[in-house]
Amino acid sequence: MPFLCFINRKSTKKKVKKVKEIKVGIIGFGTVGAGVAENLLNNYSVISTRTSISVKLHKIADLDITSDRGIAIPDNVLTTDANEVINECDIVVELVGGTTIAKKFILQALNNKKHVVTANKALLALHGKELFEAAKANGVDIFFEASVAGGIPIIKALREGLISNKINSIYGIMNGTCNYILTRMENEGVDFDTVLKDAQKLGYAEAEPSLDIDGFDTAHKTAILSALAYGEWFGLDHMFVDGIRNISLFDMGCAAELGYRIKLLAIIKNKDGKVEMRVHPTLVHADGMIGNISDVFNGVMVDGDTVGNTLFYGRGAGRKATASAVVADIVDVAKNIAANSINRTPAFVEGKLFDQIISMDEIDSCYYLRMMVTDRPGVMAQVSQIFAEGKINIDSLIQHGEGEGNGVPLIILTGMTKEKAMMDAIAKLEALDCSLEKVRMLRIENI
Ligand code: HSE
């Protein structure tokens, strides 16, 4: 019997997956730029194995291309001309910072139909609407994971993981410098000015620290998260922002005695169809999840109507953590380009879920008040009378020490109260003849 053999030629052919090459260009070769270049070069094969895309570092533009950044950059990658990045690359990574030249480069890239990845929180917070309109008009995208909480993928979580949720609230510790200062003050009993100077020496705080310690860095991040949560770029115009300069060791000690820690907290809430956005030092429970985020670490707690509470924790700054977020964006864009599906998961979708902002007068909060009063009979009655008139409930009241002519501190924690009622009551308390100093007020979030 003849032996017949059929060879299935198809099955013996080895399938070779076609690898698409995406060219990436970086503008700005500073700390983060160097971290991104390093990550793209070192983990090239990890990324190509996971995506079947060759995500290739093609150009890096900076005015200084001679200083050693500790990375071996391939030949012909470095340039002093940002136009080469914009003209030759598929994805333009803006890491220049600031809101002038960075905006020019991003708009130039978008108008050249190039996708953009940026870590620029100030630019997005102030000009997000304009930039996303330009991206939409050109059919390209802007991804911005590294702009909020560094290496924590909070933007992707809000954009994708929590997409089916209405966002009830977001609480964030999103400035490592402030968290480091507050943690050291608390642990070591050293005052704000001394810790700040030390943090500057150690490189944890900028020589010009205002953006961090006065709350504006956190405010930029708050504007971005509220845009994602509620589909509208509200900016900073209606946001209450206060920093940590005036936090005293005495208030920290009183807060600790009452079971609280003081944190610079971003608060975003959806309340009765309106948006509440504020940044200020806040008393939070010392044994709560947010209260336990210390040192340079960041943490963001998101409450979704379906999922409930979620907490995201990690490093909010630094070369490697930030590079991790930037490269994740680059890979997301590269995957979209390779699959020809640019708008499958847009980085931002205008939604206008809630477009009205609540004014500070209208917010509800609990409060910590510290008065300095004369130590004599009847003072407590006068103080209580003002709280009763304002229909403000006193939850705790502590009076420490005996008066020695200089007065005694009186610490009061209130129940939930409208800010306007609290401010009116504070004005009346300060007008009392027993009141020796301005009242120190801090807000409390029971999380
Ligand atoms: N300066 C910020 C911080 C990091 O201290 O967390 C960049 O946003």
Nearest CA to ligand 1 atom 7: 317
Q: Ligand 1 centroid vs 20 CA: distance in angstroms? A: 35
Residue 317 CB–ligand 1 contact under 6 Å: yes
Q: Ligand 1 centroid vs 296 CA: distance in angstroms? A: 9
The rounded Cα 417 to chain-centroid distance in angstroms is: 27
Nearest atom in ligand 1 to 322's CA? 7
Q: H/E element holding 77?
A: none
**Within 10 A of 369 (CB to CB), how many other CB atoms are there?**
22
Residue 6: per-residue pLDDT: 43
Asked about 335 being catalytic, the answer comes back as no
Nearest CA to ligand 1 atom 2: 175
Within 298-352, where are the H helices?
319-338
Q: Ligand 1 centroid vs 383 CA: distance in angstroms? A: 41
CATH 3.30.70.260 fits 362-444, yes or no: yes
Q: H/E element holding 105?
A: helix 101-111
Q: Ligand 1 centroid vs 323 CA: distance in angstroms? A: 14
Nearest atom in ligand 1 to 220's CA? 8
What sign for the dihedral angle of Cα 195, 199, 204, 210?
positive
Residue 217 CB–ligand 1 contact under 6 Å: yes
Residue type, 285: H
Residue 3: per-residue pLDDT: 44
Q: Ligand 1 centroid vs 319 CA: distance in angstroms? A: 11
Q: What is the DSSP string of 149-171?
A: STTS-HHHIIIIITTT--EEEEE
Nearest CA to ligand 1 atom 4: 317
Pair 405, 353: CB distance under 8 Å: no
Mean of all residue pLDDT scores within the chain? 94
pLDDT in tens, 158-174: 999 999 999 999 999 99
What whole-number distance in Å separates Cα of residue 328 and Cα of residue 143?
10
| CATH architecture of the region 20-151+321-338 | 3-Layer(aba) Sandwich (3.40)
Residue 346: per-residue pLDDT: 85
Residue 146 CB–ligand 1 contact under 6 Å: no
What whole-number distance in Å separates Cα of residue 103 and Cα of residue 97?
9
List the chain residues with pLDDT less than 50.
1-12, 16
Residue 344: per-residue pLDDT: 86
Residue type, 12: T
Q: Ligand 1 centroid vs 107 CA: distance in angstroms? A: 25
Nearest atom in ligand 1 to 175's CA? 6
Residue 350: per-residue pLDDT: 85
Residue 214 CB–ligand 1 contact under 6 Å: no
| Domain covering 154-316 in this structure, CATH number | 3.30.360.10
**Within 10 A of 14 (CB to CB), how many other CB atoms are there?**
4
Residue 316 CB–ligand 1 contact under 6 Å: yes
Q: Ligand 1 centroid vs 34 CA: distance in angstroms? A: 17
DSSP character at residue 413: E
Residue 177 CB–ligand 1 contact under 6 Å: yes
Residue 179 CB–ligand 1 contact under 6 Å: no
Q: What is the DSSP string of 345-360?
A: S-S-----S---BPPG
**Candidate list 221, 263, 269, 335, residue with the active-site label:** 221
Domain chopping of the chain, boundaries: 20-151+321-338, 154-316, 362-444
Residue 212 CB–ligand 1 contact under 6 Å: yes
Q: Ligand 1 centroid vs 207 CA: distance in angstroms? A: 13
Nearest atom in ligand 1 to 317's CA? 4
pLDDT in tens, 267-294: 999 988 899 999 999 999 999 999 999 9
Residue 15: per-residue pLDDT: 53
Residue 322 CB–ligand 1 contact under 6 Å: no
Nearest atom in ligand 1 to 178's CA? 5
Residue 215 CB–ligand 1 contact under 6 Å: no
Residue 272: per-residue pLDDT: 84
